[in-house]
Structure 1
């Protein structure tokens, strides 16, 4: 479902890089209010929104947008894709605050550590969303 009130300019000068991450998160009904209320500190030293990451995870030649927000004791992460001038969320994930994400090829690999444990979740485009796949 497209994020309401957010349009993505198309063409060589368009794409998700032209969309404000803060505006996108404020408009997305699936983003918690605590996050939306904290975006007033962005950009700036008190901003808890990590630097946006642009990487082609769908294989369409256009980068998706991956956003992570450090909430109290956890990190919330979303990935968005653009098509036909609209943007939609294709991943919604929460993990410990020490969580990191890396793109390996077209996969998004999330490493979590904390409380003496470490786990890895790998997400891959299934034609509709980024879905977890077995690691190994």
Structure 2
């Protein structure tokens, strides 16, 4: 549904799955449902909501000691943060921004870069622990950005 841009259907399905899994007490499944919801919000360019859901998914991954899942979720946060950096840079490049606005965008950009770097390092550490070279490669690419 995300591929066809049927975001409402994708979100409703993931939300329903999350609720069912919560009733069953299936934490790993809840993490996956939250991750899917995060992906949908990222596809909609709703980075804040995407990050919130990804961090909630991370909590469930940690509860069940799913390091690979946690690394994937952290990568999602990094992608969202990098998108925020792109938005901040685009705004800085646009015309008509006041000096105060530029300073605020520079502050937001710096904060987003710091958080993206931190989450990339965490994802890399987890990828190494579970010996997943693809996840490690992704984390290194994100770090380079």
TM-score (norm 1): 0.26
Find the structure with the greater CA-based Rg.
2
Q: Which has the higher strand share?
A: 1
Q: Which has the higher helix share?
A: 2
